[in-house]
Amino acid sequence: MKPPVLLAALLLLPASVASTVQPMPYHPAARPAAATAGGDPAAQAAPPSWRWPLAPRPPVLRAFDPPPKPWLSGHRGVDLGTVSDGAPVTSPAAGTVTFAGVVVDRPVITIDHGNGLRSSFEPVGSTLAAGSMVTEGQVIGTTLAGHCGTPSCVHWGVRRGEDYVNPLQFVMDLRPSVLLPLEGPP
């Protein structure tokens, strides 16, 4: 099979096959400056490197699906599968607990990670109080029944300022692939 045909075949793999492949680690040289937003140094920086809030790495039961307008319905986070209720939930990055309580009828814990980033988890029972400092990987609570039914899950949302963003971008490299030219003369 010729290289261009092979490349085209790989690019057309169904998402279910492609999603089983582990993302490549970030390497600064792999992303040319032309692919960034106007050469902005912040856009060229590596994505934040957080830990998964559940171990082992959980399956994503429901993906991030933000609404087209802030007031419409959508899924402003991801649902991560757990083996059972009572699974420990850990902080994906260091921060400060800004809220630990009940919203509507679900226990929620929110952590401010700095730089305008906050994580929220529900339903999670926790003994931590607002103002508690947490370290990356520290247990912040345990999953409770009530969000997904069966199978058990935890909802993880992340906000940057007032905007919801995909939490998976902090534990996986979700940037689009960029094809680079082969080494050699132009």
Q: What would the pLDDT profile of 148-171 be if each residue is shown by its tens digit? A: 867 789 999 999 999 999 999 999
Q: What would the pLDDT profile of 57-106 be if each residue is shown by its tens digit? A: 999 999 999 998 888 998 999 999 998 889 999 999 999 999 999 998 89
What are the domain boundaries of the chain? Answer: 60-170
Q: What would the pLDDT profile of 15-55 be if each residue is shown by its tens digit? A: 333 333 333 333 333 333 333 334 444 444 455 589 999 99
Where are the extended beta strands (E) located within 23-162?
A: 60-62, 78-81, 88-90, 95-103, 106-114, 117-122, 124-125, 133-134, 139-143, 153-160
User: Which of 35, 48, 21, 33 is CA-nearest to residue 118?
Assistant: 48
168 vs 156: CA distance, rounded Å: 9
pLDDT tops 80 at residue 175:
no
Q: Which single residue is written with the structure tokens 């009572």?
A: 86
If you average pLDDT over residues 97-120, what whole number do you get? 95
Tokens (6 digits) for 117: 């980033």
156 vs 147: CA distance, rounded Å: 11
CATH topology of domain 60-170: Glucose Permease (Domain IIA) (2.70.70)
Q: What is the predicted pLDDT for the residue at 22?
A: 37
Q: What is the predicted pLDDT for the residue at 20?
A: 37
| Stated pTM of the model | 0.70
Rounded to a whole number of angstroms, the distance between the first and last alpha carbons of the chain is 24
